[in-house]
Amino acid sequence: MLSRQVEPTLRIITNLLIPVSSRLVRYAGGQGSLRQRFASASSDVLPKLLVMCMVMNMNTDRMERLVLGTRNRHKLAELRELLQPLSVPLLDLSQFPQAPPVEETGSTFEENATLKATRWSKALGEWVLAEDSGLVVPALGGEPGVLSAVYAGRHGDDAANNRLLLERLAQVPEEHRQAYYVCVAVLADPTGTVRAQAQGRCHGRIAHQGRGTHGFGYDPLFEIPEYHRTFGELSPLVKRVLSHRARALEKLLPQLQRFLP
């Protein structure tokens, strides 16, 4: 899908260039080889000209709307809440069925967030905000890390991921059960250029069993020492203040304001 600013310009350019190319082909007339060469060149060059004009006319300094680069409904709900101060429409990938899948092949949260933001923004011709986040447990060498969503093997199986985490920590003493959540958020413009990014962390420890029903992922196990409660027990309002995602977006928002119309 082309951005709304680009579509009218592309139509005008197409209407102007195609008749010109047709007249030149007719002018070649009976000169068969010349006519064939021109027709072949036109079919190759015109699309490139159109793409060049399209890119040149993209407004890469003003963000008329923003696509949230995730299909995770829990993340979408949090992002929409945290981005309320923005005065632009917030869309998500469910509104862009042509958005290609992006393999999270990076070895860091920053690499994966950048992969998603840049590839989706170029494919859609839109401003895209993507994030990558997960849990880091130093006693486990940083696990589950960038594999947080697939720790037990199947993507998004929170119950299995939590069970595996508890199994890995079964012999770890209380004083070494520290952990922290990480979120890296990246903004890319319609050309796929990164324009802003920020990281947020939230420190806590891993409880011995899940508590509470709020949140998602490892939230029932992630205890905030100051509150003696897990994210699963704390209200969504409190989590929106303390979470890694909230802290990343708090740092990112002032950067986003620069691109508002």
pLDDT in tens, 14-49: 444 444 444 434 444 444 444 454 445 445 554 444
Whether residues 53 and 98 fall in one domain: no
Task: Count other C-beta atoms under 10 Å from residue 37's C-beta.
Answer: 12
Residue 174 and residue 113 in one domain: yes
> How is residue 202 annotated by DSSP?
E
Vertex 188, ends 255 and 145: CA angle to 5°?
90
Last residue of a domain, one of 57, 76, 94: 57
Q: 11 and 110: one domain?
A: no
Using only C-alpha atoms, the chain has a radius of gyration, in whole angstroms, of 24
Q: Is 132 an annotated catalytic residue?
A: yes
Query: Do residues 44 and 171 share a domain?
Result: no
Q: Identify the three-state secondary structure at position 23.
A: helix
124/97 same-domain check: yes
Selection from 116, 112, 63, 111 nearest residue 93 by Cα: 116
Domain count, the chain: 2
**Residues contacting 254, CB < 8 A, separation 6+:** none
Q: To which H or E segment does residue 92 belong? A: strand 90-92
Domain assignment of residue 32, yes or no: yes
User: Do 81 and 37 reside in the same domain of the chain?
Assistant: no
Residues 169 and 96 both lie in one domain: yes
Query: What is the DSSP code string of 218-231?
Result: TTTTEEETTTTEET
In a domain, 150, yes or no: yes
In a shared domain, residues 150 and 249? yes
Which CATH number do you get for residue 123?
3.90.950.10
* Residue 53 included in any domain: yes
3 state DSSP class of 85: coil
Per-residue pLDDT of the chain (261 residues; tens, 9 = 90+): 444 444 434 443 444 444 444 443 444 444 444 445 444 544 555 444 444 444 444 557 899 999 999 999 999 999 999 999 999 999 999 999 999 999 999 999 999 999 999 999 999 999 999 999 999 999 999 999 999 999 999 998 999 999 999 999 999 999 999 999 999 999 999 999 999 999 999 999 999 999 999 999 999 999 999 999 999 999 989 998 999 999 999 999 999 999 999
| 238 and 167 assigned to the same domain | yes
Catalytic residue selected from 132, 158, 189, 219: 132
pTM here is 0.77
92 and 44 part of one domain: no
Q: Does residue 218 lie within any of the structural domains?
A: yes
Same domain, 45 and 71: no
Domain with 46, as residue range(s), is 6-57
148 and 182 housed in the same domain: yes
CA dihedral 192, 197, 199, 200 (to 10 degrees): -110
Residue 1 lies in a domain: no
